[in-house]
Chain A
Amino acid sequence: MNLIVAKNITKDYQVVPTRVSKDPQIGEGLVRALRNVSFEIEPASFVSFVGPSGSGKTTLLNLIGCLDKPTEGKLTVVGTDVLKLDRHESAQFRGDNLGFIFQDFNLIPILTVYENIEYPLIIVKNTPGGERRKRVMAVLAAVGMADQKDKYPDQISGGQKQRVAVARALVSDPKLVLADEPTANLDSKTAYTIINLMKKMRDELKSTFIFSTHDQRIVGEAEIIYSLADGELVDKQLKGGKQNG
């Protein structure tokens, strides 16, 4: 069974009047960010969506992550028709099934490394204390940050912050981890390290990783690469050069 099934997804955005759409098909004041995008992703995949800025990568990740809803089409994530979820159910769904890694790390500055990772288990999952400690320490060790656990985000480097973000995304054992431009603010070496860390975690935890990027240095690290251009899915590459267009 596929983890994600997207059929003819379209997403329109209302824009300010000065940026009136020239597309007569979608009406005035609207911009079409995604056009009839369809794809399927299997569990434990390591997938990237690539494309230039404005191609719709982030929009697509937001839709998969239940942070936004498509204007048209059908989207099923982890067996759930996400279009039918209300605000509260979406939040619940995200907490239960998804992990997020952000471009700017988005760690909570008032919490230590340990507490940042522990946060989803306390606030979202209500995991008991003993179990919580075990899981936090396990992911901390897995991302190589156990010795930095008492530091605050402003006391660690960008690469370390992203490791913490990876750990936070994985600590609640999600079925799907979404990473929007996870290496955009990192140097090449650290970017590779983070991508390899994500891959390693996928191998260990069997979670599905989807990341968006326009960074050519790491595009090839994905096993399945979807290319987007002007809101359309234009290409699908499987690692090893297999092409499905």
Chain B
Amino acid sequence: MANLFKIAVRNLFRYKRRTFLTVSLIAIGVIFVLGYISISGSFKNMMIGQITDSMIGHLQVHRKGYVASIENLPLNLNLKPQAVKKLEGLLNQQPEVVAYSPRIKFGGMFSTFVETTNVRLNGVYPEKEFKTIPLLPSRIAEGQKTLNKGEILIPELLARGMKAKIGDMIVIVATNQDGSVNGKQFKVAGILESATGPGGRDGYVHIEDATELLRMGEMEISEVAIRIKDFGKVEAFTRKLDGQLSGEVNKQGKPAFEVHSWQGLSPFYNIARMIDMMTFFIQILLIAVVLISIMNVMIMAVYERIREIGTIAAIGTLPGKILSMFVMEGFCLGVVGVVIGNIIGMAIIFILNASGGVTFDFGMQKGLVLAPTLNPMNMLVVSAIVIFVSVAASLQPALKASRMEPIKALRHV
């Protein structure tokens, strides 16, 4: 094997310029793909992190049918106290769960006594909410990073439009489940930065204030947001929880709960899927580049060395060894291209991060700083693809060489 490798390397050095060009092409392809995967992957992960850690949590549980009407924030589809108790009991037993936060979601009128507008609000237990969506405090651009009874956190667009400032008293008027209207005064305690995605422009009040405002006799919960230890296992945990809750039925004998991971709740999931799809196509492009360049080089190598192939075949080299020699050349080209591509790719990502990352705007979020990272698994996958394709691309020319009749090859001029 070592000797085959030595001969392959020598053969590659025979046409230095051609080898250099092929290796460069492969390396550029690898750099491009790694750069793309790194930036798009980091963007995707950052956005998913923003969405799950500052708004929706890793997964949510609702009363069956709530999500289909979620835009209307239907109070009549809230979870009853008994169901909430059952759910909390179950969640408390799950070792995967870090925190969960019951929410009452409702719409109302926001009045500064001068102007009035619509607002969507979440009634939450602040401690539970901050544990479940830990980036929420960091979204509080102005004011205190806590939420007490009688206080409200309002989104910045609303604050700007309504000229509401920290410490101002405002009134929230909301329609109750029975259709009557109630109002309650709140003090503006904080202004929230907007975030892209569902709930990105919602305000927050204490859950007991929400219960009082909505004149709930007993607290009814719209949703329970859940945070788990390992985000990578969110799908598995969603399935597990769904399975455990599937036995809970309502009076009509139908399932009482529905469980959705963040993918089922955020439209960004479709963007994330599109990013994955584009990554896949970029990899296909890389495969094409490697395939064509290696095949081209190897076909030329075989045609240029026909007499040599005849000679080595004549002196007794078995067809399999001849095949191995040419495949080894393709393999070496792929490996060198991958190594150079990975080194330069890592260097570029390092320089990019050292110079402050990539700054960009996304929806209402301005000046987001993306720090691209290279996942070793991604590097491994790209490298494996390139090396595999290099070997596959050299197979056809190598087979041609190994099947050559020595007598014809020796006669070749």
Contacts and interface: CB of A to CB of B under 8 A. Distances in A.
A95 B10 contact: no
Contacts of A109: 14, 308
Contact of A65 (B7, B307, B314): B314
Contacts of A65: 314
A94 B315 CA distance: 6
Interface in B1-37: 3-4, 7, 10-11, 13-14
Interface stretch (A44-52, A116-124, A141-149): A116-124
A193 B308 CA distance: 26
B10 A123 contact: no
B150 interface: no
Interface stretch (B196-204, B214-222, B289-297, B317-325): B317-325
Contacts of B11: 110
Contacts of A102: 311, 410
Which of B313, B316, B406 neighbours the largest number of chain A CB atoms within 10 Å of its CB? B316
Contact of A106 (B7, B14, B307): B307
B317 A123 contact: yes
A92 interface: yes
Contacts of B368: none
A169 B307 CA distance: 17
Interface in B313-352: 313-319, 321
Contacts of B311: 100, 102, 106, 108
B7 A91 contact: no
**Interface range on chain A: under 10, 10 to 19, 20 to 34, or 35 or more?**
20 to 34
A68 B407 contact: yes
Contacts of A119: 312, 315
A95 B319 contact: no
Which of B10, B315, B321, B407 neighbours the largest number of chain A CB atoms within 10 Å of its CB? B315
A135 interface: no
Contacts of A232: none
Nearest to A168: B315
Contacts of A104: 307
A169 B317 CA distance: 13
A124 B316 contact: yes
A182 to B, nearest CB: 14
A94 B314 CA distance: 7
A65 B311 CA distance: 12
Contacts of B307: 104, 106
Identify the 3 closest CB pairs spanning chains A and B, nearest first. Answer: A95-B316, A110-B10, A106-B311
Given A91-B317, A95-B317, A109-B308, 10 more contacts: A62-B407, A68-B407, A87-B319, A92-B316, A100-B311, A108-B308, A111-B7, A119-B315, A123-B3, A124-B316
15 contacts: A62-B407, A87-B319, A88-B318, A94-B315, A95-B315, A95-B318, A98-B316, A99-B315, A100-B315, A104-B307, A106-B311, A106-B410, A120-B315, A120-B316, A123-B312
Interface of A: 62, 65, 67-68, 87-88, 91-96, 98-100, 102, 104, 106, 108-111, 119-120, 122-124, 168-169
